[in-house]
Structures are given as structure tokens and as C-alpha cells.
Structure 1
């Protein structure tokens, strides 16, 4: 069984935000290495995010040295079409965290097996990818977002399905030469998903389930959630027909593809994300018992700067290190830390130096797409780093 450190049951305190009627709850901080950490600043910021409508609800976890030191649950899972209180076991649309949590490690499994070279052109394995001036784009360029490709496929045209998405990806044209500039692009990870399917002969969902989710014991993580899971899923927002998305991926490109793509589609909860973060930290540090399905040297490669040598936007292989997307690092974690965010309001930031992580799960786009948790991520990470340092 995957290693999961034991911890005493949490105690909970409850409060009601004045004028909102929303029940908020937070789990008391856990003792870490014989000390109790003061997470009041974290909880204050989470409460304020709900009361000021940055998000309708939030689940937060802070872990260090193999234990979840702090769990917090605030606000509501849904306010439309009916109100539901947020719970620790709420399942979220992880959005672009799919890139770092699923697609990148799948690709690196192929690298470990000697089936790809990071600096080989993608067209070595997908000859049709060379179309439109993409012949010199390498797998490393895709993983680090230095391919020069535009941010997304054209959604103004009425295309539909996996095969049409694949054709559009193969025929896409770069805006800039490969290696010149960091441009965050979903097309990069669409291409990696298609590459994985070509080399493994399996759909991305099947390969990821068999080689990432099951080996790690991530029982609450999946693509295209079953109907039985819907009551626990945080809804996002209305689709083009006026239907509230719940258990259906929010990202429009992934949705057109049927819910599974290299850049989005994963659903998960706090327990599984804490398990994932801890397994990654344990493997990176060389501690025994980690179920993370890559070697230690591979994990270190993925989580250190891999962008072109003369560039200042720092990206690992699937992970953000220091770019304008790095608000989730806050002011206290060093540049050697790494993480990723998701458009729906999810984020995970991991710091090997302090052996810690900060997980924030929200559905900030619910119900109308107007929520914003960029400042929340920054502030919670900063407060967490201060508390961890003080402890």
C-alpha cells in the first residue's frame, strides 16, 4: 500500500461570516516535530477570500515533513442551482494542473524507458507535427512552454472531437521560433498527449490511470467522473447552452474533445493531492516507501530549470518555477520551489528546501466566471511560509 503517514484526528472550529449566512470551518493546526504551528494568518486570509467573493469556497492543505499540518475548509461548494456547503472531500476540476500532475510524468516515463529523447524533435515520433514550421520543436520545448506555439487551438470554428483536435494540433503554426520566448500554451500539452497515445497505443486516460493514478493510490482522481461522484464535485460555471458544468471539464478545448486532453481534464480532491505532493517530495528526497512512479533523478530533472540557458522565465519539465504565473509561490518560498496553477482556481506549490507544500482548491469560476484567486494564492503561500519557518 502507498505510504500515508498517520496523523491524529483534527479538531474543528466553526464560524459564520456576518451578513452571509455561510458556515465556515477550519481544522486546527497539527503539531509538527513536536511544535504547533500558528496558521491563523492563513485562516484569516481564506475567510476573507470567501467573504469578499474572491471565491465561493475553498479547501486548503499545508503539509511538511510527511504530515498534513493544517487543513481548512471554508465557504460553499455551490451556490447555484442550489447551495451546498464546502467539504474536505469535495472533488475539483484540476484544470491545467493536469499538465504537471499527469501528462508530464507520463512523458517522463517514456523518457526513462528510452523511448524518447527530450531534445529530439517532436516530429521524430509524430512526423505530421513538422507541418507549419514546427520541425525543430523538441519535446523539451513543449514541456517547458518554449515551443513558440500560440496559447490554444482556434475555438471560433465549430470543430469537435479528439481526431479534429489532433489534426488542428498537428497543423498549428508557431508565433515565434522555438526556444526564443516563454509562451504558456495548451497546444504544447495537447501535442504531448497525442505523442503519448502514439507511442503507447493507449488513450491518455487509460495510460494515466494505469501508470500514474492507480500506482499512487489516488482513488478519488480521474478523468470523466462517474455519475456516483457528482454530488461531491464542485460545479464550475454555465456552458454555452446555459447548463451548469458539474463533473464535466470546464476547459472548452478539453470539453470539445470529450473531457480528456493533455492539458486539462483531471478531477481530484485534497486527500489525493496531499498524497501526490508527499509522494513527490519523498521520491525527490530519496526517502523509502514513495509510490511516485518515476526515479529520483527524473523527479529532480523535472523540478529544476530546464528552459533555454539564456532565458529568465524558469520552467521545469511540467512545473513552473519563476514566471509571471508564479504567484502561488508567495514571498516566502525560494525560487528553488516549484508548482502549478489551474484556471478553475486550483494550485499546488512544493518546496523541497523546507520539505513542505501548499495546496489550494477552489472553483473560483462558480457560478459566473468572475472569481479571482491570484492574490489569495500569493497571500496564503506567504503566510504559510512564515508559519513553517517560525515552527
Structure 2
């Protein structure tokens, strides 16, 4: 299970870093020539996109529990918050922290739900109102937890909720009272609001805030000391530039992580989280999606 986690985590962070001075380490001696050639090709592809497709990236390859290649490309920050080019842009480092943005849905909310499924506290085929007891109405009663996870609940994709609510409870109320945009289970439409409801379910079932539940039940047991919500509260200071948004969005709750630290920590941690539920690993998308 731990080996599989490392592969998933490395892949997700590689995607996150790629969508964001040069620090480099050549592949370790003894790496198979085909693998070394593949790494060199990947390095070249990333380097060719610098400045044209993205300002910076971090690329790390781990094999058999050992980092065999790691390299930082370009810059972590080119412009200030007003869009003006910095006189001295910040170079990217292997230890730079990245905002995981919507990957938080995978590496936080989905994980939290499935941990509770594994503990027998959530049934993904139960209606949402089994856990959010006031989530009721003709258009809501048939929505299941699985449909929230699969983005097939019919709930609106996104709304600027900060215009309508200033607390978590108010935000939940606004989402609950919105009419559905599509029929329940009819089709898949990526929904930020649906995943916000999943976070509410985690908090009501566990009795903990989502970030604390994950800290105690996922990130710390896996040894992921550099993966967290509210990174400044954990004294992290080195971040790749990310979208700041408006004054309301700046207080949002995405998780952050460093590729080098997370990969190293997972590799060296003796304790892993077990997620045995078959639904956790079963493919949920069908051909033609």
C-alpha cells in the first residue's frame, strides 16, 4: 500500500509542479540506460517550456524507494502581486512549496471521505442527508455521497460564495438552497460546491475540522510533514507564486506541499495509512466520459 501511495503522490505533485536559476542533479550512477535516457528527455521537454509555457517547475523521479533524479527549473516567482516583473525573480528550488489548488480535492477531501468509509462511518451510496440532516428538499433528497464524489449530483459548478456568506455555516446554507443545475445522476459536471459539501460531511461525521482530521489521520501517519493546510502556521516560508485572487479568495483553504520533502518523508516513514475499501481504487469513469 505504501509503495502505491508514493507513486500516486509523486505523479500528482509532478503535475502540480509542471503547471507552475536552475538547480539540478544528474540521475544517480547505476541507473539503467533506458531510464536515464527517459529522464534526460523529460528534462529537455520541461526546459523547452520554460518562459514559454510556465515560469518554473520541479521534476523528481523515485525508483524502488530511492530518489534517482531531482531538478528544479526556472523561477518560483517572476512578478509582484501587481503583475510587475521583479528586479530579482526568485529561483525555483527543489524544496519549494506548491499550492495544490484543486488537487486538494484528491489529496484531501476524497482521502478524508474514504478514510471514514474504511472506518465504517460513511456509506458512499447513502443519501447526503444521512450525514447532513438538514440537506433536504425535492431536489436534494436523492443525492448520494458517491454522486458528490463523481461530480454527478447536479449541483452548480461554482459560485462566488464570498459575496453571499462569511462563515462556513452560511456557505453551507447557500449551497443547500441553490437549485440544481442538472438532474441528479444525469451527467458529470465538475463541481467545487459539491466537494465543499463533502468537506462538511467529513466535519460532521468526524467532529473535527477537515484540516485537523487530515493532519491527524492522513498526513502525519504518512510522515508528510511538509503537506498541510495553512502552511504559514507550520512555519513554511518558501512558496511558488500562485493565484492570489480577490481579498476573499486569499483566505481560501487549499493544501500545499513540497515534492522533495513529501517524497522523502513517505519513503522513510515506517507507518502507512491502510485504505482497504475496494471503492477507493476501483475506476469510476467509463469509456466515453
Seen in structure 2, the aligned counterparts of structure 1 residues 238 and 267 have a Cα distance that, compared at 3 Å, is closer
Q: CA deviation at 1:157?
A: 2.9
Counterpart residue number, 2:174:
168
Contact preservation (8 Å) 2:228, 2:257: yes
Counterpart residue number, 1:67:
66
Alignment of 1:216-255 (within 5 A): 216-226=222-232, 229=235, 231-240=237-246, 252=249, 255=250
Counterpart residue number, 1:128:
134
Counterpart residue number, 2:15:
none
Counterpart secondary structure, 1:72 = strand
For residues 322-347 of structure 1, give each alpha carbon's deviation from its aligned partner in whole angstroms, at most 9, with x where no partner exists.
xxxxxxxxxxxxxxxxxxxxxxxxxx
Q: CA deviation at 1:230?
A: 5.2
Aligned residues: 264
Contact preservation (8 Å) 2:225, 2:262: no
CA distance in 1, matches of 2:108, 2:214: 7
Alignment of 1:134-145 (within 5 A): 134-145=140-151
Q: CA deviation at 1:303?
A: 2.9
CA distance in 1, matches of 2:170, 2:281: 33
For residues 21-79 of structure 1, give each alpha carbon's deviation from its aligned partner in whole angstroms, at most 9, with x where no partner exists.
xx223321236775552122211111122131x21111122333333333221001112
Counterpart residue number, 1:76:
75
Counterpart residue number, 1:331:
none
Q: With the length of structure 2 as denominator, give the TM-score of the two structures.
A: 0.80
Counterpart residue number, 2:288:
312
Counterpart secondary structure, 2:231 = coil
CA distance in 2, matches of 1:277, 1:171: 41
Q: CA deviation at 1:301?
A: 3.0
Contact preservation (8 Å) 1:32, 1:67: no
Contact preservation (8 Å) 2:95, 2:261: no
Counterpart residue number, 1:113:
119
Counterpart residue number, 2:258:
269
Seen in structure 2, the aligned counterparts of structure 1 residues 56 and 229 have a Cα distance that, compared at 3 Å, is farther
Q: With the length of structure 1 as denominator, give the TM-score of the two structures.
A: 0.60
CA distance in 1, matches of 2:123, 2:177: 23
More helix per residue: 2
Long gaps (5+) in structure 1? 6-22, 242-250, 280-288, 314-391
CA distance in 2, matches of 1:230, 1:110: 29
Long gaps (5+) in structure 2? 7-20, 81-85
Counterpart residue number, 1:27:
25
CA-based RMSD = 3.0
For residues 168-215 of structure 1, give each alpha carbon's deviation from its aligned partner in whole angstroms, at most 9, with x where no partner exists.
222233222222211111112101100011111111111111111111
Seen in structure 2, the aligned counterparts of structure 1 residues 156 and 37 have a Cα distance that, compared at 3 Å, is same
Seen in structure 2, the aligned counterparts of structure 1 residues 64 and 109 have a Cα distance that, compared at 3 Å, is same
CA distance in 1, matches of 2:147, 2:30: 40
For residues 274-327 of structure 1, give each alpha carbon's deviation from its aligned partner in whole angstroms, at most 9, with x where no partner exists.
358879xxxxxxxxx8643233x33x53233235x7x732xxxxxxxxxxxxxx
**1:259 is matched with which residue: 245, 252, 258?**
252
CA distance in 2, matches of 1:151, 1:46: 32
For residues 254-285 of structure 1, give each alpha carbon's deviation from its aligned partner in whole angstroms, at most 9, with x where no partner exists.
x4xx433xxxx101110344358879xxxxxx
CA distance in 2, matches of 1:151, 1:25: 39
